[in-house]
Amino acid sequence: MKTIERLVLDTSAYSHFRKGHPQVLASLTAAVQVFVPVIVLGELEAAFELGSRVAENRRVLAEFLALPYVNVPNVTPATVRHYASVLVSLRAAGTPIPLNEVWIAACTLERHGRILTFDRDYLRVPALDCTVLETP
């Protein structure tokens, strides 16, 4: 697999990473930098709270986030501008997506990254470098 300079994980990609999905693992191996948007962390924390292994899931996530090539980017004024632009363009096209996905797309655009996901909604976002994987 070709090197990926800036890989952004969405919630589905992180979940499949935890399950050992081979394409997610290959993408992570090919990445120079991995970004996990704070919005993804919120979705993961909610899923942890709904599950039965809260402490284990938090520990594994903390270990992943502590890796030297993994970053949690801040939401900045530039992120907000990307969010607004994406939201307005999708609504104008009549193809809205869930708001958390708009935020994650905005984080990806700000970092000139490639999002790794199993969610086809991201394909609606203009100019977003997106790899959509399929579940086996």
15: left (phi over 0), alpha (psi -120 to 50) or beta: alpha
Residue pair 48/54 in contact (Cβ under 8 Å)? The answer is yes
pTM: 0.95
* Domains parsed from the chain with CATH numbers: 4-132 (3.40.50.1010)
Q: Which two tokens stand for residue 25?
A: 């693992």
Q: Which residues pair with 132 in a beta bridge?
A: 117
Which two three-digit tokens encode residue 74?
Answer: 């801040």
* pLDDT tens for the 136 residues of the chain, in order: 799 999 999 999 999 999 999 999 999 999 999 999 999 999 999 999 999 999 999 999 999 999 999 999 999 999 999 999 999 999 999 999 999 999 999 999 999 999 999 999 999 999 999 999 998 7
The predicted structure's pLDDT at residue 85 = 97
Q: Which residues contact 134 (CB under 8 A, 6 or more apart)?
A: 118
Q: What are phi and psi of 78, to 5 degrees?
A: -65, -40
